[in-house]
Amino acid sequence: MKALLALSAACLLPLAHAALLPTLDSYNVVWDTPSTDVTGTMPLGNGDISANVWVQDGDLLFLIGKTDAWEENSINCKLARVRVKMSPNPFAAGNPFRQELRLQQGDMLIKGGAPGSEVTLRLWIDANQPVIRVQTVSDQPVSQQVLLETWRNEQSVLTNTQVSDMFKNLYGPDPYPTILFPDTIVQGEKDRLLWYHHNIKPENDPYEINLTLQGMQDYMKVIPHPLLGRTFGASIQGPGFAAADAKTLNATEARKSHLFSVYPLTTLHPVTPDQWKAKLDEMIAKVDAKPLPEAYNAHLAWWKAFWNRSEIHLAETNPANIPADGLSPAFTISRAYALCRFMNAAAGRGAQPIKYNGSILTVGTPENPDHRRWGGPGFWFQNQRLVYWPMLAAGDFDLMEPWFRMYREALPFAKMRCQKYFNHEGANFGETVTFWGAEVSGHYGWTRPFESRPSPLCECSFLTYYWQNNIENLRMMLDYVEHTGDMEFARHTLMPHADEVTKFYDLHYKRDENGKIRFDPAMSLETWHRAVNPLPEIAGLGTQLPRLLGLQESLTTADQRERWQRILDDLPPIPRGTKEGLPVILPAETFSMEANSETPELYGVFPYPVFGIGKPDLEIARNTYATRKNKNTTCWYQDQVQSALLGLVDETRQGMIARASAASHSTSRFPAFWNEFNDWVPDVDHGGNLQLALQLMLLQSEPGPNGKLRVLPTWPKDWDVSFKLHAPGKTVVECVYRNGKIETLKVTPASRLIDVIKPK
């Protein structure tokens, strides 16, 4: 029956463009058996608080995540694991079972029990308030027990430190032990379970050592310590529940309905545990003042508005390509797209950005649910960006705010660092940074104190001169302003970033005998550790400086415009050469010391659109793509994004089929918990690449309010599709394409219709 339903949904998809809800419902994830372990979790979230939910061995379990739960070592922690037991047990072996993630509602339904004794649980994390709700309705009275499970129960030493952990040494023993401090389980609470983690000042303070190592200890006077005193935890409580002990909450009687709630809270410094508790009680009172039905309706309204922002729905037209289970490649890709958007919405509105290595949806290891490969403190730009690029066309602008906020708040650090390291104005962020802006300690290197270093730059040769991220973030900010028209963002986020980053590029590099900037010493991404005039910097500045010059003059100054034009005039040419007898783009004018597997020469396609459909020298870019060394359909490799921008239909389709396939999530039951690949599970930049490539197959928008809108530029004729996507100029493009033809095309505002270029 499941196969028939899935097949019906996939086949009917093109016929039901107006019926958004049934189409979205077809992507709901449904399991008819419990999971065997924590690799079988389903995600929930409200943008700041998450839950990984599963049923195992007769119990309901969920791990609680939060975007700002940073402990003393800047490791993002799970708050705890919650276990729910019921009697009679509806999830006992042999009973009917159903667990469904409902995308439209942003909730989860879990049903178990024989007919006449069925129990239904609804779990939802309020989209508008900081609370997890667990509601139970049953045919017969059941008792319910809620158990708090923690693992940070005593002080310990983290033995398997990861690359970005604060005391990790990449080339020898860690200089200090990474001490993990215990949570506090509050005793004596009569009707609730209460616990918290309060960050103390360790003997070896990771934050202070991180700054001192990099010669930036004066920055401690600029902002408060971002970790010290931070307190995070939660209360579990509900009507008709009483605490049996500090970790056990029991329903006072068997009933046909139960409700308990989890109220997570993080407070920043300076705060005491008593102050945190008082703030929590105040928050709980405020949350519970809203009647539950009213809160749930508001929650549904938020998710409805979210899904109405944009959509992409695919269908396979050739019956031969639809397997017996009904999950055609086209359906699988569009389901993956929707699930990735859901996961970003579940984790993308908090105090900190979505982390590339698992978001707040990780499950860790059996020994340590807080574990993630590469560690907690570091944000890798090359990976992070791919989570955020698709949010523009999706219209998920609110989810981008934490990302931009992190860089806005860290800009004073980057300015101070630039002055100290290079003795000139400007700002440049490293490729791998903490949320306060400093480089990851292990990358910076532990060989000697700052004062005795021959160079202030990081010792990790993969990152020493890897700074193009500053230009790419500039492009993302410009795109955000063009999509939203947000002038406050332009003034307070875009312009400060643009001003300082362009100062850096103007002042840092010398001009050659021809008056051209000579980017040297430099790198071409992580692949070529020695490069002169790398393609990403030249293409990046060459494409983004004209956009800065095109901004309304009220946003800019004469000095800025003069600087931008000067840099633009002084840029060296795009490096070109031959490969396999074909004219190609090169990664740099000169390059050596190959050490990684990116394709920097194709940064002239994305993220910097020098080459592409409708642009000069398209064949040179296609030659470059065809002769590239590194080919991949996983993780941060952006092959499908670039092939879509080059109009390579079959190449892009096959890459997308592989990226969305079951093999890409083979280590997890949930079909968008992508394997760790180069990161950790779920590899959300793998999903971001999938989202962005799919969008670019459907719509390629040129910058500006009157830029060309290329509809279906890289679309297979035998895939039907309906989509609604956003473009610059606060534009929305809606299209239905069926049987090789565009059936409907709507552009809002209608004045933008003249900018549309349809496929030949």
Best CA proximity match to 376, nearest among 312, 423, 314, 441: 441
Contact 691, 341 (CB under 8 A): yes
Q: Which DSSP string do the residues of 104-161 spell out, in sequence order? A: TTTEEEEEESSTTS-EEEEEEE-SSSS-EEEEEEEEEEEEEEEEEE-S--S-EEESS-
Contact 229, 199 (CB under 8 A): yes
Q: How many domains are contained in the chain?
A: 1
Determine, yes or no, domain membership for 238: yes
pLDDT at residue number 714 = 99
pTM higher than 0.85, yes or no? yes
Give the whole-angstrom CA distance, residue 751 versus residue 519: 43
Supply the CATH number for residue 64's domain.
2.70.98.50
| Per-block mean pLDDT, blocks of 10 residues, the chain (760 long) | 33 33 82 98 99 99 99 98 99 98 99 97 99 99 99 97 98 97 98 98 98 97 96 99 99 98 94 96 98 99 99 90 86 97 99 98 97 96 98 99 99 98 98 97 96 96 98 99 98 99 99 98 98 99 99 97 99 98 99 97 99 98 98 98 99 98 98 98 98 99 97 96 98 96 97 96
Give the whole-angstrom CA distance, residue 440 versus residue 428: 15
Determine, yes or no, domain membership for 101: yes
The structure tokens 């280590």 sit at 667
- Beginning with the edge strand found earlier in the chain, give each strand of the sheet holding 741-748 in spatial order: 311-316, 719-727, 731-738, 741-748
Determine, yes or no, domain membership for 574: no
Rg (CA), the chain: 26
Determine, yes or no, domain membership for 256: yes
For residue 567, what are the CA distances in angstroms to 39, 465, 514, 559? 51, 19, 14, 12
- What contacts 713, CB < 8 A, 6 or more positions away? 613, 644, 647, 696, 697, 699, 700, 757, 759
Tell me the residue length of the chain. Answer: 760
Contact 19, 91 (CB under 8 A): no
Joined tokens for residue 160: 């398997």
Report the Cα 699 to chain-centroid distance in Å: 22
Best CA proximity match to 210, nearest among 443, 455, 464, 17: 443
pLDDT at residue number 8 = 32
Determine, yes or no, domain membership for 246: yes
Question: What dihedral do alpha carbons 377, 381, 385, 386 form, nearest 10°?
Answer: -90
Give the whole-angstrom CA distance, residue 224 versus residue 271: 12
Buried b / exposed e along 357-377 (16+ C-beta atoms within 10 A): bbbbbbbbeeebbbbbbbbbb
Give the whole-angstrom CA distance, residue 733 versus residue 753: 9
Best CA proximity match to 84, nearest among 49, 51, 44, 126: 51
Determine, yes or no, domain membership for 421: no
Phi-psi region of 694 (alpha: psi -120 to 50; beta: other; left: phi over 0): alpha
Give the whole-angstrom CA distance, residue 729 versus residue 707: 9
Give the whole-angstrom CA distance, residue 501 versus residue 131: 40
Report the alpha-carbon angle 288-291-295, nearest 5: 90
Q: Which DSSP string do the residues of 228-243 spell out, in sequence order? A: TT-EEEEEEE-TTEEE
pLDDT at residue number 319 = 83
pLDDT at residue number 760 = 84
Phi-psi region of 431 (alpha: psi -120 to 50; beta: other; left: phi over 0): alpha
Determine, yes or no, domain membership for 597: no
- What contacts 301, CB < 8 A, 6 or more positions away? none
Give a three-class secondary structure readout of 569-638: HHCCCCCEEEECCEEEECCEEEEEEECCCCCHHHHHCCCCCCCCCCCCCHHHHHHHHHCCCCCCCCCCCC
pLDDT at residue number 317 = 86
Residue type, 659: R
Give the whole-angstrom CA distance, residue 35 versus residue 97: 11
Half-sphere exposure in the Cβ direction for 589 (13 Å, CA)? 14
Determine, yes or no, domain membership for 75: yes
Give the whole-angstrom CA distance, residue 734 versus residue 749: 11
pLDDT at residue number 112 = 98
pLDDT at residue number 100 = 99
Residue type, 261: S
Report the Cα 661 to chain-centroid distance in Å: 20
pLDDT at residue number 13 = 35
3-state SS class at 418: helix
pLDDT at residue number 9 = 34
Give me the domain span that covers residue 296.
Answer: 32-305
Strand spans (E) along 324-393: 379-380
The backbone torsions φ and ψ at residue 23, rounded to the nearest 5 degrees and listed phi first, read -65, -45
Half-sphere exposure in the Cβ direction for 369 (13 Å, CA)? 22
Phi-psi region of 708 (alpha: psi -120 to 50; beta: other; left: phi over 0): beta
Best CA proximity match to 89, nearest among 69, 121, 112, 61: 112
Best CA proximity match to 438, nearest among 681, 738, 144, 206: 206
Enumerate the H helices of 397-440 as residue ranges. 401-422
